[in-house]
Amino acid sequence: MNPRRAPFHLVGTGPGDPDLLTLAARRLLERVDAVWAVAAAGTRPRALDVVRPHLRPDLPVRVFELGMRAGEGEKADFYAALAEEAERVSGLGEEVALLCLGDPLFYGTAARVLRFLDPDIPVRIHPGVNAVALACARLAVPLALGEEVVVVTPATLPDARLRALLEVADVLVVLKVGGHLRRLKALLAEYGRLESAWLAAELSGEGEAIWRLDADAPLTAPYMSLVIARRDAA
Ligand SMILES: C[S@@+](CC[C@H](N)C(=O)[O-])C[C@H]1O[C@@H](n2cnc3c(N)ncnc32)[C@H](O)[C@@H]1O
C-alpha cells in the first residue's frame, strides 16, 4: 500500500433520520477534506441531507449525477470514472467521504465504486443503520429469532424466483418494492402470508407510513419502501 495515499471513506448515513447517523460517521465527517454523494440526475441526494447539519460550512461537497434510467453498462462506466477521481484525490492526500443511505454494504448503490478502486487506495467502510433494522424497530418485531431463516431480496426478481424464496424463508424481506407491490401481494396471498406481512414506506422521512398488508393496505408503494413477511405474525 502506498503510504502517501489518503484513505477513501464509504460512509453509511442510516435511513434518513440524522439521529441514526453513527458517532463514528459524525466524527469522521468533522475531519474529512470533502464529502461526495451520488444522486439520480435532477434529484438531491438524501444522504447529504442527513449529514448536512454536521458539515463545516466551508467543506467542499460534490454530487455525482447518474442518469435516472442508466443501464448496467452506463452504471459501470459511471462508477469506474468515480473510482478514477477517488484515486486522483487520494494521491493528492485528500480524504474523501462518499455517502450512502443506510448501510453502504447492504445494497448500497455507492458501494459499486469498490470494485473499480485501485487496491493500493486505503478504503475505510463506516457501517450505518439499514432500513430493515429501522422497520423492525418501528414494528417492534424481531427480524429473526432462534433458527428462523431470513431471506432478503429485491422485488424486481421474477415470480418464479420469489416463489422459490417464499418456500424457504421464515422471514422474507423485500426491498425496492415500488411498482411491484400488487404482484408481491398476490404472491404472498398464494402462500397464505399476506396477513402476517407489513409494508414500511419512507421510514424516517415526512411520508413515513407502515401498513399491515391486508385489505386496507395501499395498492402502490414508493421506491423507498420494503415488505417484511413473516411465516407467522410475531
Ligand atoms: C438500494 S437499497 C439501499 C439500502 C440501504 N443501503 C440500507 O442499508 O438500508 C434501497 C431500498 O432500501 C429500502 N429503503 C431504504 N431506505 C428506506 C427507507 N427510509 N424507508 C423504507 N425503505 C427504505 C427500500 O426497499 C429501497 O428500495
Tens digits of residue pLDDT in 12-36? 999 999 999 999 999 999 999 999 9
pLDDT for 111 equals 93
pLDDT for 234 equals 58
CB 46 within 8 A of CB 18: no
Under 8 Å CB-to-CB from 31, ≥6 apart: which residues? 95
Would residue 97 count as lying in a domain?
yes
Choose the final residue of a domain: 126, 160, 175: 126
> How many domains does the chain contain in total?
2
pLDDT band, very low/low/confident/very high, at 2 (cuts 50, 70, 90): low
Q: What percent of the chain has pLDDT over 90?
A: 86
Of residues 23 and 217, the one with the higher pLDDT is: 23
Question: Concatenated DSSP letters for 97-113?
Answer: EEEESB-TTSS-GGGGG
- Per the structure, the complete domain to which residue 122 belongs is given by 8-126
| Interval between CA 176 and ligand 1 midpoint (Å) | 7
Choose the final residue of a domain: 107, 126, 145: 126
Check which CATH number belongs to the domain holding 154 and give it.
3.30.950.10
| Interval between CA 225 and ligand 1 midpoint (Å) | 7
Average pLDDT taken over every residue of the chain: 94
Q: Whose CA is nearest to atom 22 of ligand 1?
A: 225
Asked if 70 and 116 sit in the same domain, the reply is yes
Strands (E), the chain: 8-12, 34-40, 61-66, 96-100, 123-126, 150-154, 171-175, 197-201, 209-212, 225-230
| Interval between CA 192 and ligand 1 midpoint (Å) | 26
Pocket of ligand 1 (CB under 6 A): 15-16, 101-103, 106-109, 130-131, 175-177, 200-205, 223-226
Would residue 1 count as lying in a domain?
no
